[in-house]
Structure 1
Amino acid sequence: MDKDNRFALLVIGLPFLGLIYCLGIILIFILSPFAQNHAFITGILAAMIPFSIAASIWIRASAKAYDRNK
């Protein structure tokens, strides 16, 4: 996959992935009594999942760039 295709996938695919994730969280809140009764815990978990994925990608990319500069 070349850089242009990867960038297009990022620009087009990432918003759709976010939309699907948000719809999934909404469905969890509608269907799950636990999520309704413990909205704060569910909300924190829903926010931490994308943050953790983004942080791990960022750290991995930074480590790769640091190894190239050595």
Structure 2
Amino acid sequence: MNSRQVMTVAVLAAVLAWSTVMTVLGQLAAVAALLPSLGLLIQQIVSAFTGGGPGARAGRTPTGSEEL
């Protein structure tokens, strides 16, 4: 694993641990408010590990414009 992947896994582990602690302490409303952002976080991490999302193609920049 490269350093970027290690950092990504560390951030994911920290966020999930924090969510677990909040749930254990009875802060279900706080966890429910964070569920959409946790879902996006997991989606971004999966995308980073798999090399892009469903529309990713070689030769495309992150803004979607073609490279010359």
TM-score, structure 2 normalization = 0.47
Greater fraction of residues in helix: 1
Larger RCO: 1 or 2 (CA < 8 Å, sep 6+): 2
